[in-house]
């Protein structure tokens, strides 16, 4: 059987690119989405057209019952889970901490931190095995270069939420390593996706991308390569690692 991979927030952007790449390599993909069912359906049919298997799974990954339902539906569709990509995330308009509302802080931390922990907890309940013959199982978190940079005067909340994801990656890799589950992360830099619309600064992607050592913003497909590698048995001795895919930023 081909490996099975659940990807959260996979109807567009980095999640979609990851779903398409893993699907084209024969993985069976769970395409989780929050609200845009037609985009998720397009992603599923693109995977099926490339010969892969996929199912669209609606659910809010910051809601405990939704997370459990989505994991259950994934296993009903394809059997035991081999991997999870914790990708769903949000950002917010550029501003200083002094100006941030509690509602905004809750939205960012609910999605990026609580959501990541709920998905990781569900994976931690389903992936571990005591069998010496267990196949390769893994969790990949999509963090951000912001976790290293701090994002001052832009979104220190978002940066902090991704710092929490990095810490979870390290801790969980040690917790689950003995149970044959690898846990890794990627830190994208400035990647051309729709997430940047929330910043309110239309020129930010090209300006910051252009200032990176590689002189440009990245594409979702370039991040997907690193995620799929970490999720695959090709990275069978890699755990607790967080790879920057940030053009040197």
> Encoding tokens for residue 99?
């100006």
Considering only 87, 151, 169, 239, the residue that binds ligand NAD (CB under 6 A) is 87
In angstroms, give the least distance from the CB of 170 to ligand NAD.
18
Ramachandran assignment for 247, one of left (phi > 0), alpha (psi -120 to 50 degrees), beta (any other) = left
9 contributes a contact to ligand NAD by CB under 6 A = yes
Q: Which residues are catalytic?
A: 158
Q: What is the CA radius of gyration of the chain?
A: 17
Q: What 3-state DSSP class applies to 33?
A: strand
Considering only 88, 108, 118, 176, the residue that binds ligand NAD (CB under 6 A) is 88
Partnered with residue 7 across adjacent β-strands are: 31, 85
Helix (H) / strand (E) element for 69: namely: helix 64-78
Q: What 3-state DSSP class applies to 243?
A: strand
Q: Would you say 142 and 90 are in contact if contact means Cβ atoms under 8 Å apart? A: no
CA angle 25, 27, 30 (to 5 degrees): 130
CA distance 175 to 9: 25
Q: Which is nearer to ligand NAD, 12 or 180 (CB)?
A: 12
Stretch that binds ligand NAD, among 9-17, 20-28, 93-101, 234-242 (CB under 6 A): 9-17
User: Could you give the string, one character per residue 91-120, with x where binding to ligand NAD holds by CB under 6 A and - elsewhere?
Assistant: --------------------x---x-----
Considering only 144, 169, 173, 232, the residue that binds ligand NAD (CB under 6 A) is 144
Q: Which is nearer to ligand NAD, 114 or 238 (CB)?
A: 114
In angstroms, give the least distance from the CB of 141 to ligand NAD.
9
User: Could you give the string, one character per residue 175-214, with x where binding to ligand NAD holds by CB under 6 A and - elsewhere?
Assistant: -------------x-xx-xxx-------------------
245 contributes a contact to ligand NAD by CB under 6 A = no
CA distance 112 to 117: 9
Q: Which is nearer to ligand NAD, 136 or 221 (CB)?
A: 221
Considering only 20, 21, 54, 61, the residue that binds ligand NAD (CB under 6 A) is 61
> Encoding tokens for residue 75?
């296993």
Stretch that binds ligand NAD, among 46-54, 86-94, 170-178, 231-239 (CB under 6 A): 86-94
CA distance 111 to 122: 15
Q: Which string of DSSP letters, residue by residue, matches 135-170?
A: --EEEEEE--THHHH--TTT-HHHHHHHHHHHHHHH
Q: Which is nearer to ligand NAD, 180 or 226 (CB)?
A: 226
Q: Which residues bind ligand NAD (CB under 6 A)?
A: 8-9, 11-15, 32, 34, 60-62, 87-90, 111, 115, 142, 144, 188, 190-191, 193-195
């Amino acid at each position: 059987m081909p490996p099975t991979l659940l990807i959260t927030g996979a109807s567009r952007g980095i999640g979609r690119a990851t779903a398409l790449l893993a699907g084209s390599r024969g993985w069976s993909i769970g395409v989780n989405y929050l609200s845009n069912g037609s985009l998720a359906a397009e992603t599923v049919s693109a995977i099926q057209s490339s010969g892969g298997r996929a199912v669209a799974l609606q659910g809010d990954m910051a809601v405990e019952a939704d997370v459990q339902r989505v994991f259950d539906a994934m296993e009903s569709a394809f059997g035991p889970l081999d991997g999870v990509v914790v990708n769903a995330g949000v950002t917010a308009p550029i501003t200083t901490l002094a100006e941030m509302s509690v509602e905004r802080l809750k939205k960012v931390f609910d999605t990026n931190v609580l959501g990541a922990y709920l998905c990781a907890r569900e994976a931690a309940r389903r992936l571990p095995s005591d069998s010496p013959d267990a196949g390769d199982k893994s969790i990949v978190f999509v963090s951000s270069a912001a976790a290293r940079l701090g994002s001052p005067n832009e979104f220190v909340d978002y940066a902090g939420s991704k710092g929490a994801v990095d810490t979870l990656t390290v801790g969980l890799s040690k917790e689950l390593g003995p149970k044959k589950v690898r846990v890794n992360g990627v830190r994208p830099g400035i990647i051309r996706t729709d997430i940047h619309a929330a910043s309110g600064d239309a020129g930010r992607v090209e300006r910051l991308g252009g200032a990176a050592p590689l002189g440009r913003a990245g594409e979702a497909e370039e991040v997907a390569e690193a995620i799929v590698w970490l999720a695959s048995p090709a990275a069978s001795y890699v755990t607790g690692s967080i790879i920057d895919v940030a053009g040197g930023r």
